[in-house]
Amino acid sequence: MIHSLRIFCLLLVLTTLISCGKANTPPSTAPTTSSDSVQSKVHKIIAELLKVDVGELRDSHTFRGDLGTDELDEIELIMEYEDEFNISIADEDAEQLKTIGDVVKYIESRLSQ
């Protein structure tokens, strides 16, 4: 089910990008290694997508409990992390990302490989 929702979300995002004229913009390929940079980018992505104040986000916040996300929100967040950091996150790994801190640590470990 997660796979079908990811495909649906990807199609939705692509349709939106094409209609906004942003589909030809290449993703950033510059590696991000600074912990503060990863954390701030992850916080910004979450704040924008979930419409919350970035200053209220803490690494200890859980997505389902503290932020009230559903499966679709989480899929959209994963897609945004993949785009921003130019990485691929396996479904099995995505299911283990329960807190904002989990996401930051996961991305940092992927970027240091």
What residues act catalytically? 70
Can you tell me which residue has the tokens 């510059």?
30
